[in-house]
Amino acid sequence: MADILDDRRKGLEEEYFHRQNKEAIEKLREKMKVAEEAKAAGTSSMKCPRCDGALRERKVEEVSTNTCEKCGGVWLDSGELETLINREKETGGWFSRLWTQAD
Ligand SMILES: [Zn+2]
């Protein structure tokens, strides 16, 4: 009798985890679909952290930045600011002076 209950419990557990996995996979697929559609449309799937506007990808010095269509804010991924600074340092533009002159 205990074995039957154990089997039933195991079955319920497996069913629960199977359902959880299925839901997680479906959510991931939906996210990937949104990201693919946004990429095809030239926009980012992310929203502006400041105003919730749509972010559009824009290449600056080979670095893809995300510019908000609503407030005009420019957002960079990790390492992109450093890449921009290094590119500017090589050419000695205004952007690098902005970061190297403290006063
Ligand atoms: Zn914005």
Q: How much distance in Å is there from the Cα of 99 to the middle of ligand 1?
A: 24
Separation of CA 79 and ligand 1 centre (Å): 21
- What percentage of the chain exceeds 90 in pLDDT? 28
Report how far ligand 1's centroid is from the alpha carbon of 26 (Å).
Answer: 29
Q: pTM of the prediction?
A: 0.48
96: CA distance to ligand 1 center in Å? 25
* pLDDT band at 25; cut points 50, 70, 90: very high
The alpha carbon of 74 and the centre of ligand 1 are apart by a number of angstroms equal to: 8
User: How far is ligand 1, taken at its centre, from the CA of residue 3, in Å?
Assistant: 59
Residue (of 84, 58, 61) closest to 69 by Cα position:
58
